[in-house]
A and B are shown apart, each in its own frame.
Chain A
Amino acid sequence: MKTELEIRKALRDWIVKTNGKIRPENLTDETPIIEQRIISSLQVMDLLLFLEQLTGKSVDVEKLKPGIFQNVNTLYENFFRKESYVY
């Protein structure tokens, strides 16, 4: 079981690797990843697969609300909190 810090780091690492251009020090948990086009809407499918792999749970895509992919904070809050509604 990963700690919160480990999960947040894993998310940032995935974003840096997927983007391929952004430097790790330029990505914080507040950086708007969709708005700044660090992650494209087409890459969200890969992000969902990565999130499912990390959580071990299947995401109910129909329950996803806009804003959920805003930044690392929103990803953590929506996919890793115990009371998450997305599964």
Chain B
Amino acid sequence: MGDFPRIVEKLCEASKKEYANPYSAMEWPEALDPEGWFMSPELLSIYGMPEYDRLTEGEKKKLSFYETVNFFSLNIHGEKSLVEGLARQLYQKGNQELSPYLHHFLDEENKHMIYFGGFCTRYAGKIYRDRKMVFPRDYAPGEEGFLFFAKVLIFEEIVDLYNVKMSKDARLAPIARQINLSHHRDEMRHLVFGRNLVKELFQRYAAVWPPEVVQEVRRYLAGYISATWKEYYNPDVYKDAGLEDPYRLQERAFANPRAQAHRKKISEGCIRYFLENNILEEEPVL
């Protein structure tokens, strides 16, 4: 396990220090200012497309509201399965050293869902549905646990860059900035944990997996990065924002070269980590 137990201990200390009450940590306004931005315009999924440029300022702000509801909904769905998976890992054989931090991880993820869910249900009256599905299959020893933490890491790496950018964006409504900042503060620790654990698990198991399992794990993770991004382009959002032909717009937005360059830039650090640790052998197509 190398330095990992020491890292876990440090992360536990940091989590105790940052411990927050989710019911008093946010200042929820009664209603949102319809003239406000909720997501940085440059992060909107259709930013730079003619369909975006044609919108009025008010329509762009409306889109930024629904894209925020989508971003927060994605976080809720991601964290729901994360909480399920973390609870399964708690006190499992071989995880004794991790378990003290898994308690913090679970606690913090639950708090995030309170923030994200609070925003979505208060101001939009809903959470966007999740279209991701997982089918049961057989796994090689250690493969399921490795894929679980690797998927969590991919999801959190992307989300965190959005959080950082939006927590600093003075154009955004204070509640949107506050939620992004609060999420980022905890995610910094989760990313340190995830980066160390995923590397450690891959080194431990890839050495004993047959080559076809390693190949399948690589193929799956490359596809997972792309599938994670696809959820940022949601036709339900376009429909709610009053945009025409939402399904075709979703296809055009995802295929747009500017959007592809954006995904590549945001995923750069995450992909570099997977390449440097030999978990991926080549850059995935985004």
Would A66 and B132 be within 8 Å (CB), given that A49-B247, A49-B250, A52-B247 are in contact? no
Quick check: A48 and B223 within 8 Å, CB to CB?
no
Which listed residue (B223, B236, B248) contacts A42, Cβ 8 A? B223
A45 to B133 Cα, complex, angstroms: 7
Quick check: B227 and A45 within 8 Å, CB to CB?
yes
B100 within 8 A of A: no
Interface residues of chain B: helix, strand, loop or mixed (majority): helix
Which listed residue (B130, B134, B220, B231) contacts A61, Cβ 8 A? B130
Question: CB-CB < 8 A to B224: which residues of A?
Answer: 42
Quick check: A40 and B223 within 8 Å, CB to CB?
yes
Quick check: A34 and B129 within 8 Å, CB to CB?
no
Quick check: B133 and A49 within 8 Å, CB to CB?
no
B235 within 8 A of A: yes
B272 within 8 A of A: no
Quick check: B247 and A41 within 8 Å, CB to CB?
no
A62 to B230 Cα, complex, angstroms: 20
Within 32-87 of A, Cβ neighbours of B (below 8 Å) are at 34, 40-46, 48-49, 52-53, 58-62, 64, 66, 69
Within 213-227 of B, Cβ neighbours of A (below 8 Å) are at 220, 223-224, 226-227
Interface residues of chain A: helix, strand, loop or mixed (majority): helix
B131 within 8 A of A: yes
A64 to B131 Cα, complex, angstroms: 10
Quick check: A45 and B230 within 8 Å, CB to CB?
yes
Band of interface residues on B: 20 to 34
A44 to B224 Cα, complex, angstroms: 12
Which listed residue (A40, A53, A66) contacts B247, Cβ 8 A? A53
Q: Name the distance in Å between A59's Cβ and chain B's nearest Cβ.
A: 8
Quick check: A42 and B235 within 8 Å, CB to CB?
no
A42 to B223 Cα, complex, angstroms: 7
Select from chain A the residue with minimum beta-carbon distance to B228. A42
Question: CB-CB < 8 A to A48: which residues of B?
Answer: 131
Quick check: A45 and B231 within 8 Å, CB to CB?
yes
Select from chain B the residue with minimum beta-carbon distance to A54. B247
Quick check: A42 and B220 within 8 Å, CB to CB?
yes
Quick check: B230 and A46 within 8 Å, CB to CB?
yes
Q: Name the distance in Å between A64's Cβ and chain B's nearest Cβ.
A: 7
Quick check: A42 and B227 within 8 Å, CB to CB?
yes
Q: Name the distance in Å between A68's Cβ and chain B's nearest Cβ.
A: 10
B135 within 8 A of A: yes
A74 to B162 Cα, complex, angstroms: 39
Which listed residue (A34, A40, A45, A66) contacts B131, Cβ 8 A? A45
Quick check: A58 and B133 within 8 Å, CB to CB?
no
Question: CB-CB < 8 A to A62: which residues of B?
Answer: 129
Which listed residue (A44, A53, A60) contacts B133, Cβ 8 A? A44
Q: Which residues of A pack against B, CB within 8 Å? A: 34, 40-46, 48-49, 52-53, 58-62, 64, 66, 69
Given contact pairs A58-B236, A61-B130, a sample of 9 additional A-B residue pairs in the complex whose CB atoms are under 8 Å apart: A41-B133, A44-B131, A44-B133, A45-B131, A45-B227, A45-B231, A59-B131, A66-B136, A69-B133
